[in-house]
Amino acid sequence: MILVVDLCAKKDSLAAEEFVRPVVELLGESCVVHMTEVTEQLVEQSEGVVLCGVQLQDFDYLDHVDRFAWLKTTTKRVLGICAGAQVIAKVFGGNIVQQQEIGVLEVLWKDGKTEQVYTLHNNAFRCPKGFIVRAKSEQCIHAVQKKTLMCVLFHPEVLNKEMVKRYFY
């Protein structure tokens, strides 16, 4: 079962309908926990983890990065979406930088393919040491990867739904 982590400021919030529910609907059977409830044990019992995005004006997740130290040792597949990607980058020393993108835009993947994606962020991240940059927009890095850890700044649950499922199954 995939562990879906809600990074919204409040547990069981109205915002989770927008940022967590669509991911759960794509993955099917999954277990949703708020970021304040994630434990290493829950991660190890799961088949993989998704760290979801949050609202544009919600920056609370940046105060909870210490809760994600388990990312350094886990071998599970982890997909970080937007705020979730920023958290993974931050845990591995990649700085968070102000960079706003809102709406549909094109990213360029490392293999030369371009893709339309949906973006919704006031912050982006620098590539942490040991990660490989996979995709960029004109403004910033959009996807980085290190082994089983994948960070995407855009929201694949909106326009790139297959990517979410494909990452785990």
Partner 1 sequence: MKLGVLFSGGKDSTLALLKAREKEEVVCLISLISQNKESYMFHTPNIHLAELQAKAIGLPLVSFPTSGVKEDELKDLQQAILLAKQRYQIEGIVTGALASCYQASRIQNICNQLKLFCFNPLWQRDQISVLRELLERKFRVVIVGVFAYPFGEEWLGRELTPQVVDELEALQEQYHINPAGEGGEIETMVMDSPLHQRPIVVKKSRTAYLNYAGIYHIEEAVLG
Sign of the CA dihedral running 46, 2, 96, 134: positive
Return the residue matching tokens 């991240």. 125
Shortest reach from residue 37's CB to partner 1, in Å: 19
- Residue 8: CB partners within 8 Å, gap ≥ 6? 15, 16, 19, 20, 34, 52, 54, 55, 58, 60
Shortest reach from residue 71's CB to partner 1, in Å: 26
Q: Is 56 in the site for partner 1 (CB under 8 A)?
A: yes
Shortest reach from residue 169's CB to partner 1, in Å: 19
Shortest reach from residue 63's CB to partner 1, in Å: 17
**Residue 97: closest CA among 129, 135, 126:** 126
* CA 155 to chain CA mean position, Å: 8
C-alpha distances (whole Å) from 70 to each of 16, 38, 73, 76 are 23, 10, 6, 10
Contact, 61 vs 7, CB < 8 A?
A: yes
Shortest reach from residue 44's CB to partner 1, in Å: 30
Q: Is 113 in the site for partner 1 (CB under 8 A)?
A: no
Q: Is 120 in the site for partner 1 (CB under 8 A)?
A: yes
| Structural Rg of the chain based on CA atoms | 14
Segment lying near partner 1 (by CB under 8 A), choices 70-78, 95-103, 124-132, 136-144: 95-103
Q: Is 14 in the site for partner 1 (CB under 8 A)?
A: yes
Segment lying near partner 1 (by CB under 8 A), choices 8-16, 41-49, 79-87, 139-147: 8-16
Contacting residue, 46, 51, 58, 143, with partner 1 by CB under 8 A: 58
Binding residues (CB under 8 A) for partner 1: these are 12-15, 17-18, 21-22, 25, 55-58, 100, 102-104, 118, 120, 122, 157-159
